[in-house]
Copies of this chain bind each other. A is one copy, B any other.
Amino acid sequence: MSDDLRSKLRGSGYRLTPQRELILQAVERLGHATPDEVLAEVRTTSSAVNVSTVYRTLEVLEQLGLVRHAHLSDRAPTYHSVTDHEHFHLVCRNCQRVVSVDAHVADGLVARLGEELGFVPDLGHLTVFGRCSDCEDTP
């Protein structure tokens, strides 16, 4: 099960450690979580892990393409494991609800930015703030 992790790590000259396994599993379990939340989750599951290890590990895992991060608030970033299909995030400024949207919804925009500006967007990191249908009225 952690053979995928092991091989990805080794392929880039990294080692497989229990901390790295635990942190990846925590991210997978949590969905969208800040470094702090990941730390808390790991600690419930097993022995203690240090904050700095969490930060360093999330960085490594992101380099390997196993997790990604997005900025869903003005506070800490949130990490999520990389799944089959790419998606971006909508965040309601009123109720803070987060919705994941398939990247294809932005195909038109991606095409325009590519053609007109030669810009290749990284949708997986994109967060669109706004107002959801439930909150259209609320001030």
Is A30 on the interface with B (CB-CB < 8 A)?
no
Q: Chain B contacts of A109 at CB under 8 A?
A: 105-106, 108-109
The answer to whether B101 touches A105, judged by C-beta atoms less than 8 angstroms apart, is: no
**In the docked arrangement, what's the CA distance between A7 and B129, Å?**
29
Partner of A122, one of B71, B99, B108, B129: B129
**In the docked arrangement, what's the CA distance between A129 and B126, Å?**
7
Q: Chain B contacts of A118 at CB under 8 A?
A: 132-133, 136
Q: Chain B contacts of A92 at CB under 8 A?
A: 119
In the assembled complex, how far is the CB of residue A113 from the closest CB belonging to chain B, in whole angstroms? 7
- Chain A: residues with Cβ within 8 Å of the partner, total of 30
Main secondary structure of the interface of A (DSSP, over half): mixed
Q: Which residue of B is nearest A105, CB measured?
A: B112
**In the docked arrangement, what's the CA distance between A130 and B120, Å?**
5
**In the docked arrangement, what's the CA distance between A113 and B129, Å?**
12
**In the docked arrangement, what's the CA distance between A81 and B90, Å?**
25
Q: Which residue of B is nearest A126, CB measured?
A: B128
Q: List 27 A-B contacts (CB under 8 A).
A: A71-B71, A90-B113, A90-B117, A90-B119, A90-B121, A92-B119, A93-B122, A99-B117, A105-B109, A105-B112, A105-B113, A105-B116, A108-B112, A109-B109, A113-B128, A117-B132, A118-B132, A119-B130, A119-B131, A119-B132, A120-B130, A120-B136, A121-B128, A122-B128, A125-B129, A126-B128, A126-B129
